[in-house]
């Protein structure tokens, strides 16, 4: 049996987590008609309820916020009811679960948008990346720049998403401010060429992310609101010329809002951790809430970072897809199930709810 701080309890706002393992958001593209969470999702998340905290797959706060086929939403009564089955299943197994609130911005396709409209972005710059529509990987569509008077509606969509999350029984929400999606697009100067109060200076580019954080925290409480950020990832063709002062400023603002955690993708999302120089310790020092470290963590790296007090919680992504009992496996030093990459996106139970536990084995 492995001894590690990873298995120590942690107090996250009003929630007592039994361990410091976080299941990171993992897009699985299995939503059913109406972008309602798949009925199998209750079993999928319930199987993983031994994590200290579960964070769901990214869920769009409006139809405009959708960028991929088969991703669930949190803006309709049917979607709320679908998610309630998930939260009930997780809570019945003693778990704690947040939903990730999402607006993809320009990482979308006209076929997914209301009335076939162009996706929206801070600036009309097409991303050099792909999306997933009707089982095919295709180029994203060219976006249009959001008008200044449309931005309050974006903020309110996140606020309503938080209210709906509460109605669905979630313990809290994580705002998706990472990986080249809308809030990240506004923050970074490679994608934001605006000349109004949401463009130009660091303060202006950070404004939307901080206004969304304030609105969501005002709706459900700062102690139930976290955010995910990715300072240097190139995911979805996003970049910034000087990310350190930008994210120091953003985290100062998030700290002022008293959010319960920042969830930081260290390096390139799903890729190298050392892609660019960045002082993550600066973010840790600036933030009084929990720091969730993410990207390429295994037990050894988790132990090293926790022992050095460089993080409070550790997020695991793809290992959670194929190992519903990841906490138990890490604690026992047991081997992990191999991931079936062919079943990552779309489909049914295969590669979703049929991975064996140690008990099954």
The residues annotated with a catalytic role in the active site are 181
Q: Which two tokens stand for residue 126?
A: 């097409």
**8 A C-beta contact, residue 190 and residue 239:** yes
The single-letter DSSP state of residue 229 is E
**8 A C-beta contact, residue 133 and residue 346:** no
Total Cβ atoms within 10 A of residue 203: 12
Q: Which letter, b or e, does each residue of 330-347 get, where b requires 16 or more Cβ atoms within 10 Å of its Cβ?
A: bbeeeeebebeeebbbbe
CB neighbour list of residue 69: distance below 8 Å, 6 or more residues apart: 29, 112, 132, 133, 134, 135, 346
Q: Which two tokens stand for residue 227?
A: 């955010």
Q: Distance (Å, rounded) from C-alpha 349 to C-alpha 109?
A: 27
Element (H, E) at 5: none
DSSP 122-170: SSS---S-EEEETTEEEEPPPPEEPPGGGHHHHHHHHHHHHHHHHHTT-
- State whether residue 204 is helix, strand or coil: helix
């Amino acid at each position: 049996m492995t001894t590690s701080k990873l298995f120590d309890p942690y107090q996250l706002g009003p929630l007592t987590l039994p361990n410091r393992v976080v299941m990171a958001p993992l897009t699985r593209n299995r939503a059913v008609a109406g972008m309602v969470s798949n009925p199998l999702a209750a079993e999928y998340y319930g199987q993983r309820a031994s994590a200290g905290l579960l964070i769901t797959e990214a869920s769009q706060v409006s139809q405009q916020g959708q960028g991929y086929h088969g991703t669930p939403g949190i803006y309709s009564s049917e979607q709320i009811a679908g998610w309630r089955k998930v939260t009930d299943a997780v809570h019945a197994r003693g778990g704690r679960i947040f939903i990730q609130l999402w607006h993809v911005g320009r990482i979308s396709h006209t076929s997914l948008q209301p009335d076939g409209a162009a996706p929206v972005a801070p600036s009309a710059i097409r991303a050099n990346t792909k999306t997933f529509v009707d089982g095919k990987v295709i180029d994203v569509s060219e976006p249009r720049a959001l008008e200044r008077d449309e931005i309050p509606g974006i903020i309110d969509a996140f606020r309503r998403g938080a209210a709906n999350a509460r109605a669905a029984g979630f313990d809290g929400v994580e705002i998706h401010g990472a990986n080249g999606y809308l809030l990240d697009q506004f923050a970074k100067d490679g994608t934001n060429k605006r000349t109004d109060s949401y463009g130009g200076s660091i303060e202006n580019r950070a404004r939307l992310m901080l206004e969304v954080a304030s609105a969501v925290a005002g709706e459900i409480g700062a102690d139930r609101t976290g955010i995910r950020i990715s300072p240097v990832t190139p995911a979805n063709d996003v970049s910034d010329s000087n990310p350190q002062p930008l994210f120091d400023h953003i985290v100062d603002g998030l700290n002022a809002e008293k959010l319960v955690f920042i969830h930081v993708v260290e390096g390139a999302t799903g890729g190298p951790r050392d892609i660019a120089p960045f002082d993550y310790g600066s973010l840790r020092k600036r933030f009084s809430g929990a720091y969730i470290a993410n990207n390429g963590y295994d037990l050894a790296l988790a132990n090293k970072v926790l022992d050095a007090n460089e993080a409070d919680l550790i997020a695991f992504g793809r290992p959670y897809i194929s190992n519903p009992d990841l906490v138990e496996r890490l604690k026992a030093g047991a081997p992990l199930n191999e991931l079936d990459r062919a079943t990552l996106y779309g489909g049914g139970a295969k590669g979703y709810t049929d991975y064996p536990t140690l008990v099954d084995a």
